[in-house]
C-alpha cells in the first residue's frame, strides 16, 4: 500500500501511466458522450411537462455534476498537498481548476438558457443557481491566487489552504442560500425533481455523465502532463523521454 502511495507521488510514473491510458479515456469518453447526447437529443421521448426544452438536461446535469465533483477532488488533493507534500497533488489542483471553472460556467449557461422557455426568464435567484454562481467565484479565486504567487511551492500550498477553506464553506453557503431562497421567493420556481424519470430519459443521461467524466479524466491527464513537463524539464528523465521521442 505504501509503495503504491509512494509511486503515486512520482511524476515520472504518472507520466508513463497517463500516456498509456489517455487514448482509452479519450475514445471511451467521446463514445459515451456522443451516444448519450444523440440518444437524448433525437430518440428520448418528449417530456410531457416541459416539452423539448428538457433535452438540455443531457448536458446541463453532467456539467453540473463535474463542476461540483472537481471541487471535491481538488479538496482531497489539497489535503494531500498539505499533509504529504506530494508533487502530483498540487499539479492536479493547478491543472484542473480552469476545467472546473469552465464546467461551472457551462452548467450556469445551459441552466439559464433552459430557464427561458421553462420559467419565462433567463435568470432567477433560485437557490441552486445562486450556489452554482458562488462556486464559480470560488473557482475564480483559486485560479487568481495561483496566478498571483510566483513561487511554485508556496502557490501550491496557499491554493491548498484556500481550497480547504472553500470546501468547509460550501455546505454553509449551500444551506444559507437554500434558507434565503425560501425567505425571499415562493417555491414555484424550483426545479422540481421528478420522482421517477422514464428509463429512456435517464439511460442517456447516465451515459452522458459517464462520458464527460472520462473526458475529464483525459483532460486532467493531459493538463497534468503539461504541468509536469514545465516543472520537471531540468530533470534527467524528462530529458531522456523527450530526446527519445516519447510523448
Partner 1 sequence: MNADVQLSLKAEDAAIGPVRAMIAVFARDVRVAFRQRQDLLNPLLFFTMVVTLFPLGVSPEVAFLKQSGAGILWVAALLSVLLSLDHLFRHDFDDGTLEQLMLQPQPLFLLVLAKTMAHWMLTGLPLVLLTPVLGLMLHLDGNSVATLCLTLLIGTPVLSLVGAIGAALTLGLRSAGVLLSLLIIPLYIPVLIFGTGTVAAAAEGSPVAGYLALMGAFLFLALTLAPFAAAAALRISLSNS
Partner 2 sequence: MAFDSFSAFLVMEGHGPYVWVCYGVFVLLLAGMMFWSFRTHQDIYQICKRGYEQQSKVGQPKPKAPATFTRVEVSQD
**Binding residues for partner 1, per CB under 8 A?**
82, 134, 137-138, 140-141, 144-145, 148-149, 151, 154, 157-158, 161-162, 164-166, 168-169, 172-173, 175-177, 179-180, 183
Q: Report the alpha-carbon distance of residue 200 to residue 58 in Å, rounded.
A: 12
Helices marked H in 120-235: 127-148, 152-184, 199-231
Cβ closer to partner 2: 137 or 237?
237
Q: Does 147 bind partner 2 (CB under 8 A)?
A: no
Q: Does 21 bind partner 2 (CB under 8 A)?
A: no
Q: Report the alpha-carbon distance of residue 93 to residue 142 in Å, rounded.
A: 9
User: Reduced to 3 states, what is the DSSP secondary structure of residue 47?
Assistant: strand
Residue of the chain from 102, 164, 167, 210 that contacts partner 2 (CB under 8 A): 102
Contact pattern for partner 2 over residues 62 through 101, marking x by CB under 8 A: -x----------------------xx----------xx--
Cα 124 to Cα 56, 128, 136: the distances in Å are 17, 10, 17
Could you tell me which residues are beta bridge partners of residue 157? none
Half-sphere exposure of 215 (CA within 13 A, CB side): 18
The option from partner 1, partner 2, none interacting with 80 (CB < 5 to 8 A, set by class) reads none
Spatial CA neighbour of 218 closest among 101, 99, 105, 107: 99
State in angstroms the smallest separation of the CB of 1 from partner 1. Answer: 28
Phi, psi of 195, deg, nearest 5: -60, -40
Q: Does 243 bind partner 2 (CB under 8 A)?
A: yes
Q: Report the alpha-carbon distance of residue 133 to residue 174 in Å, rounded.
A: 11
Q: Does 38 bind partner 2 (CB under 8 A)?
A: no
Chain residues in the site for partner 2 (CB under 8 A)? 6, 9-12, 37, 41-46, 51-53, 55-56, 59-60, 63, 86-87, 98-99, 102, 105-106, 109-110, 113-114, 116-117, 215, 218-219, 222-223, 225-226, 229-230, 233-239, 242-243, 247
Amino acid at each position: 500500500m505504501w509503495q503504491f502511495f509512494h509511486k503515486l507521488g512520482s511524476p515520472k510514473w504518472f507520466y508513463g501511466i497517463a500516456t498509456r491510458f489517455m487514448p482509452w479515456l479519450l475514445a471511451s469518453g467521446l463514445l459515451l458522450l456522443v451516444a448519450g447526447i444523440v440518444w437524448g437529443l433525437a430518440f428520448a421521448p418528449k417530456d410531457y411537462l416541459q416539452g423539448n426544452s428538457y433535452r438540455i438536461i443531457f448536458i446541463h446535469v453532467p456539467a453540473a455534476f463535474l463542476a461540483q465533483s472537481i471541487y471535491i477532488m481538488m479538496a482531497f488533493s489539497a489535503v494531500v498537498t498539505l499533509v504529504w507534500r506530494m508533487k502530483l497533488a498540487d499539479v492536479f489542483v493547478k491543472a484542473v481548476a480552469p476545467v472546473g471553472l469552465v464546467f461551472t460556467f457551462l452548467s450556469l449557461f445551459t441552466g439559464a438558457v433552459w430557464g427561458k422557455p421553462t420559467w419565462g426568464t433567463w435568470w432567477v435567484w433560485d437557490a441552486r443557481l445562486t450556489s452554482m454562481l458562488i462556486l464559480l467565484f470560488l473557482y475564480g479565486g483559486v485560479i487568481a491566487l495561483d496566478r498571483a504567487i510566483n513561487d511554485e511551492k508556496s502557490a501550491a500550498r496557499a491554493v491548498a489552504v484556500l481550497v480547504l477553506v472553500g470546501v468547509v464553506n460550501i455546505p454553509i453557503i449551500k444551506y444559507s442560500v437554500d434558507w434565503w431562497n425560501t425567505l425571499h421567493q415562493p417555491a414555484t420556481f424550483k426545479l422540481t425533481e421528478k420522482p421517477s424519470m422514464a428509463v429512456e430519459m435517464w439511460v442517456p443521461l447516465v451515459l452522458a455523465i459517464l462520458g464527460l467524466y472520462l473526458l475529464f479524466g483525459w483532460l486532467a491527464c493531459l493538463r497534468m502532463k503539461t504541468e509536469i513537463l514545465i516543472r520537471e524539464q531540468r530533470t534527467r528523465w524528462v530529458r531522456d523521454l523527450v530526446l527519445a521521442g516519447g510523448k
